[in-house]
Structure 1
């Protein structure tokens, strides 16, 4: 944003024209007018005149730039650092940043410290102004302290701790906890334990497969308990353990005459599981796995056709790859489950938490309020599963890979890492392993830097589908990432952009369906995606890229490594720092409220 004043716009009656005039008076680029009208609505010029810090509704506008514009608009004496309007905007900016980092709520003292670092000497009035604006909510949580004091006497109830969060995220987390308690409280066993065990045994015999005792015990738990988490390791999907669980659970639902719904986070993950089920020869009893957004009949961000008034028509609902669930999607899922529905989440707890806010599976397990039944590992682990198992316990080293299932490629710089990745996807992997570029996914640790997704996507686009990037940086023929929910697709889906009749656009998804693009702003280049965006996806070949600026963690490296089904190339310019991150950073910390909500019932 320029420090020099910009000439006033030419006037006019439309919101964008009037907003341009307001921006010009405060020395801000007039190009911000359309984004501000989109963010604030047709009242943008009036709101901006009354509160210049509304500029911070745009993520790329900095606080320093907004302060400059406020001084131009209001005068130096009025535009003070402790102005409540500024405080409200700062609180919202901090909570939006926290949400992007996965937190659902921030403790009041921590939030106050961050505000003081941004020049707000008195945080309390700013927090009050933020609450009055409606975008932010406050929540009180009673610490889970020892109820007995010295000598075994009952201790006094501790004072509640106060948390702040974005209203939509905080309400979703509250609704999720209450909805899970509702399912647990209303459920009845689908079968008695003996009948469930017999059903699992009959299914295994019909399919001609062996079901491990741990798997059979987990399926009995599914039949008995209203909400279950089934943790598993990296090899469970590739070894067919997950597919067998789905087949047996579908037979339990059929025998109980309650119906079953099977879902995965993305169309790509659903297509892979359906292929495994078809290979088992499961027959008509097993339902098709569908993307979660399709099960919930997603119509747009936060808008679903399924819900309280129109629940999912199944008494047993199972979601795989559940580490990808954030609190908002999990809350929508639970809301769409009618009373007495059995909900089952299959998840690999060593993976990183979801791209969106929350850590649903980890909090469910930590709460001790739902059933948890561990699934076994597969048979003899292949090199990919062996590497994942080592990373899960903090080791990053070579594994024996006679079929070149795992290849490590060190690089001396970010640019060299990017060059190696492009070489792998365009030549080495298709030529040496027979996996085409269309079935190979680049997963990078960061967006920025010479080896980040932005640079890698630019290089891949130039190589595979050069064009002007007419639709938010992409063109028909590009591999694209869908960055938000829409009709027929879910955030995290990756497919190919196609042009349809009358100049319309649609994304061809990996399960063979075609989803019309409701909003081109949802499109992102998808040749390379971040680890967070790759959640819920699995590809025949994956190129995991770690640039020199990577500040990784064990879950991040584990998640990147476990996206591959047949081959993994690890290209890294992070040196010994990558192994150090795997060894010394065993988890990704997030501040959430789901555990106390669940324990309060």
Structure 2
């Protein structure tokens, strides 16, 4: 094996206490470099990586790809197994594995969305949903042949786990009617002034209805809320003008007035008093469950699914399933082939692959699965390809039907350039078609991808963009020079000055840099402001100190200052730490809850994995460059800080660790990796480092595989708390991780069990997990994935990298895992050169989102907030 930097080739570095030939030799930084004597741990230096927003956290090495062979109505019935939230994400990742992409975990807030109505109308005329919405074209250049143009596949869609970051949005528009409908073709004159006035009036009426809808909603709109076809078209027309996808002249006789900066006091719709990101399971009665059970049994599906189906579909679930058996796909964990088998059993000969109900359900399922991997939207071409793999005879017609029904929304306001599909030699053929037009079309905008999305994520992103714009423009600059001069570091002083003059500020840095926003909050309180620090987890709350709250606790009202009469949080300055862990729904709920004039500071380490839920809020805010960005110059100290900093820069650096801060434990296979992990946690780390087993956390790549969390937790339970698992697989004193909602992780210990459920001590809080929720929300917690561990730290961490985890590694994963340890890091290392390759060459997996483009369109024209400090 080739050793890591810090270990001689062919010479294994030892664990903290093992010595002798059976345990390997010390790595560089050990005795030969002035470290401890033989028998103590040497300083190895594994490498690690920067942030990956779509990296698979729950990969099972034996995963099959159910899409590879497609699915159709002849597939088998539903197989009933309790699927946890984490397993849903893992299942999605496994299915995507054969297509060469990676994924992440979970998601969920609700979505106002827009799209160019012309794209939808054109799609109807052209016989397909377009791939690209063109900009203005030179006279006579618009294509008018239906189906013309090429589809460029992209990892950004529902069928590609990694997303589509890092490429341009190349490719030719498909279909000439698209150019006509988009209003960009010079050969299109419009429909006359009277039609323009009528459409303008309709748009104005729709704007008022949209604002009323936002003001009246008590919380995030539940998934499944649908717009009518007409409303969707009108909403699309509004967004086409607002986003610039269509020129105003396509609708108006005169150009629309430019957007004006918001006044100091911006009108704000009524906000929910207790916003709750993500739709909660519906409460249903026993009669509903019984009715669903009857339908499931008649369709050959396990009756054990009844409660979950009722929770998703509501009181009329039984009737809904009889009318549309494919609605079973809305239940997490159900696969298309299972829903097809269920539909065939209920419908008999009427079950056909081209059934519109099947197509609509598949489109929704594909987009929900994309959201599990972090995407808030997917390219239409990618969705069509996925529908074809699932035996839909006419994917274009299926998409048209789904759009008309309101099951999916169409956007043509562009995506983050980094998330656009990569141009290949084949997609370059489209550029070849455009080459002769380069001179004629000089200055014309780039065609933007046509995206499909669910309304809940669309509303979340648009609401978030509007809210951030409101905050950025509603703050009056102040002079906090005295507070800045008193700051402990130059970075802290810079942050104080930025917050004094701006309503929205981004701050980047590692663990030590967390003290800078904390100092800002203290300074703001000294100025008489209501200032609050919010973090991702209870673990982070303890690390931050007195007065910190969790984001979820702040939103629920359980923590923090409470709300004013308008329903807004009673704060003047909010500093959100762990900002990379904010998903788009939580971020939207948080920003909507802030009053006008409140200053918002988003702070975090851009190198860590992105949120478990959909979106990449912090990365999009940084990429949009619409607010000051303060980069901390306060490094994390010691060998661990040096190692992690190197990983963030894309290299494995040699570190000296005389205090045994970093140790490499080489292994040959997964079985040995499990054995050495148990040995480290139970004996080596407590004895050599002085950190007890209860304060040592194991981190591995995924849940499945021979050294995933399941295998490691089984071995660690056998060592630390053997028992029969009397209570749903758990025993008192078992170490567990509790996930009551997507993206929310609490570590704890099982206390007891009773009639009401399992009693768990979650970091000092008593929690009762209902019996029917144990299987889906509770796991053993001696070993976690890096996504579960994000936002938390422990005194000692053991990172397990057996040989079968190579496909799950990238820089962000390594960076996140290695930076979880405060005093000590042991790396059980069996991936050889895959680790330095992951650190040096594998970037974060992309997510397809709209937030960056929305922020740019809203804030950059204003000028004042556009340039970073």
If the length of structure 2 is used for normalisation, what is the TM-score?
0.59
Matched, 1:22 2:295: yes
The aligned counterpart of 1:391 is: 647
> Radius of gyration: which is bigger?
2
Matched, 1:212 2:489: yes
Offset, 1:258: 1.9
Offset, 1:451: 1.0
1:58–1:5: structure 2 CA closer, same or farther, 3 Å change rule?
closer
Paired with 1:56 and 1:307, the residues of 2 have a C-alpha distance of 41
**Does the CA contact (< 8 Å) of 2:415 and 2:850 recur in 1?**
no
Paired with 1:485 and 1:338, the residues of 2 have a C-alpha distance of 26
1:70–1:500: structure 2 CA closer, same or farther, 3 Å change rule?
closer
Offset, 1:498: 3.2
Matched, 1:197 2:481: yes
Offset, 1:495: 2.3
Paired with 1:185 and 1:470, the residues of 2 have a C-alpha distance of 57
Offset, 1:476: 4.0
Mapping for residues 2-17 of structure 1, pairs under 5 Å: 14-17=287-290
Question: What is the SS of the residue equivalent to 1:541?
Answer: strand
Offset, 1:513: 4.0
1:19–1:296: structure 2 CA closer, same or farther, 3 Å change rule?
closer
1:579–1:473: structure 2 CA closer, same or farther, 3 Å change rule?
farther
Instruction: List gaps (5 residues or longer) in structure 1.
Output: 7-12, 205-210, 275-286
Which structure is richer in relative contact order (CA contacts within 8 A, separation 6 or more)?
2
Paired with 2:406 and 2:563, the residues of 1 have a C-alpha distance of 26
Matched, 1:294 2:549: no
Paired with 1:388 and 1:125, the residues of 2 have a C-alpha distance of 50
Paired with 1:524 and 1:181, the residues of 2 have a C-alpha distance of 40
Matched, 1:271 2:542: yes
If the length of structure 1 is used for normalisation, what is the TM-score?
0.84
1:225–1:74: structure 2 CA closer, same or farther, 3 Å change rule?
same
The aligned counterpart of 1:592 is: 849
**Does the CA contact (< 8 Å) of 1:307 and 1:335 recur in 2?**
no
Of the three residues 509, 533, 544, the one matched with 2:799 is 544
Paired with 1:574 and 1:228, the residues of 2 have a C-alpha distance of 40
The aligned counterpart of 1:186 is: 474
The aligned counterpart of 2:666 is: 410
Paired with 1:5 and 1:584, the residues of 2 have a C-alpha distance of 41
Paired with 2:622 and 2:630, the residues of 1 have a C-alpha distance of 10
**Does the CA contact (< 8 Å) of 1:480 and 1:497 recur in 2?**
yes
The aligned counterpart of 2:678 is: 422
Paired with 2:384 and 2:557, the residues of 1 have a C-alpha distance of 37
The aligned counterpart of 1:508 is: 761
Offset, 1:459: 2.3
Matched, 1:559 2:559: no
Mapping for residues 5-404 of structure 1, pairs under 5 Å: 14-76=287-349, 78-131=350-403, 136-142=408-414, 155-156=443-444, 161-189=449-477, 191-192=478-479, 196-202=480-486, 204=487, 211-232=488-509, 234=510, 237-238=511-512, 241-255=513-527, 257-274=528-545, 288-297=547-556, 309-378=566-635, 381-396=637-652, 398-404=654-660
Q: When you count strand as a share of all residues, which structure comes out higher?
A: 1
Count how many residue pairs are aligned between Structure 1 and Structure 2: 554
Offset, 1:306: 5.8
**Does the CA contact (< 8 Å) of 1:296 and 1:306 recur in 2?**
no
Question: What is the SS of the residue equivalent to 1:400?
Answer: coil
1:150–1:198: structure 2 CA closer, same or farther, 3 Å change rule?
farther
Offset, 1:46: 1.9
Offset, 1:549: 3.0
Instruction: List gaps (5 residues or longer) in structure 2.
Output: 1-73, 80-285, 418-436, 859-869
Shifted more, 14-23 versus 40-49: the winner is 14-23
1:598–1:91: structure 2 CA closer, same or farther, 3 Å change rule?
same
**Does the CA contact (< 8 Å) of 2:563 and 2:570 recur in 1?**
no
**Does the CA contact (< 8 Å) of 2:610 and 2:616 recur in 1?**
yes
Offset, 1:579: 2.1
Paired with 1:329 and 1:179, the residues of 2 have a C-alpha distance of 13
Question: What is the SS of the residue equivalent to 1:75?
Answer: helix
